[in-house]
Amino acid sequence: MPDIVVCFKWVVDEAYIRRTSSGDLDFTSVDYKISEYDRNAIEAAVRLRDAYGGSVTAMTVSVPEATKGIKDALSRGPDNAVFIADPSFRDLESSQTAAILGGVIKSRMSCQLVICGEGSGDFYAQQVGPRLAEILGIPCATYVQKITIDGGQVIAERKAEDFVEVVAMPMPALVTVLPDIGTPRIPGVKDTLMASKKPVVTLGKGDLERIPEASLKTVGMKASRMERECEKFTVDTADIARFVGALQRKGVLR
């Protein structure tokens, strides 16, 4: 009966991001949500608990106003939650997030399996899971599309480019999961009401050990822009030569 910790991130809902005339991103009217990839992670954790027993703890590092995310996560099936919050945690990068999660798990929790989404819905760095496994000193499997538990082992099917790799790891272990792991459930009214009654441990910056300085700094973000140029040509030799010449002048062909 494994005790599972599932990590999730409270991210900007991209549907509310607007683009300004200068190409900047406008976040003034955004709402937030649990990262889509982490919804898959929560679903995977809850299904494993239902199949093998144990418990599921949802854990996140965010700002104090992200309590809505805790309730949303708990409405999706976890038994309890750990909310690590501080106003300074708004712009953490992957190494800092992993260090905070790792410190809390090592000092305060006992679990046999940690599940993360393959990446986050905002920066998609795919760093927190592997970094967290390194901090905890446990084996890690990434891009997992199926998980089973056999005794004291986690059996994970990893999706590669053109094949599936099956790995067995002794627990405790960590996996990062793909959306293929399962479709997240949609919480009903009863689930949302029950979420308010589930236990939540809230930790602040003062409860943590040293937090590493950020290695990366975001100096700005611009909206992507795609420009297309159409070049028409016929099967005439001279026309083809003209088209090839145009590509060479633009540096497409050398």
Assess if residue 220 is contained within a domain.
Answer: no
pLDDT for position 61: 93
CA angle 86, 142, 111 (to 5 degrees): 55
Q: Are residues 162 and 82 in the same domain?
A: yes
Asked if residue 121 has pLDDT above 80, the reply is: no
User: How far apart (Å, rounded) are the C-alpha atoms in residues 46 and 189?
Assistant: 18
Asked if residue 223 has pLDDT above 90, the reply is: no
Assess if residue 17 is contained within a domain.
Answer: yes
Asked if residue 13 has pLDDT above 80, the reply is: no
Asked if residue 109 has pLDDT above 70, the reply is: yes
Q: Are residues 28 and 97 in the same domain?
A: yes
Asked if residue 219 has pLDDT above 80, the reply is: no
pLDDT for position 101: 93
Q: Residue 241 is part of which domain span?
A: 226-254
Average pLDDT on 54-71 reads 92
Three-state DSSP string of 185-244: CCCCHHHHHHHCCCCEEEECHHHCCCCCCCCCCCCCCECCCCCCCCCCCCCCHHHHHHHH
The one-letter amino acid code at 110 reads S
Asked if residue 202 has pLDDT above 70, the reply is: yes
Its pTM stands at 0.81
User: How far apart (Å, rounded) are the C-alpha atoms in residues 176 and 98?
Assistant: 13
Q: Are residues 66 and 186 in the same domain?
A: yes
Asked if residue 14 has pLDDT above 90, the reply is: no
pLDDT for position 15: 67
Q: Are residues 55 and 115 in the same domain?
A: yes
Average pLDDT on 135-153 reads 93
pLDDT for position 145: 93
Asked if residue 124 has pLDDT above 80, the reply is: no
pLDDT classification of 47: cutoffs 50, 70, 90: very high
Q: Are residues 186 and 95 in the same domain?
A: yes
Give the residues across from 157 on adjacent strands: 146, 166
Q: Are residues 147 and 245 in the same domain?
A: no
The one-letter amino acid code at 246 reads A
**Which two tokens mark 222?**
């611009």
pLDDT for position 122: 74
Average pLDDT on 124-148 reads 91
Q: Are residues 66 and 164 in the same domain?
A: yes
pLDDT for position 157: 92
- Mean pLDDT score of the chain, rounded to an integer? 87
Asked if residue 1 has pLDDT above 80, the reply is: no
Tally of domains within the chain? 2
Asked if residue 175 has pLDDT above 80, the reply is: yes
Helix ranges (DSSP H) in 76-225: 94-108, 128-136, 189-195
Query: What's 99's domain CATH number?
Result: 3.40.50.620
pLDDT for position 16: 66
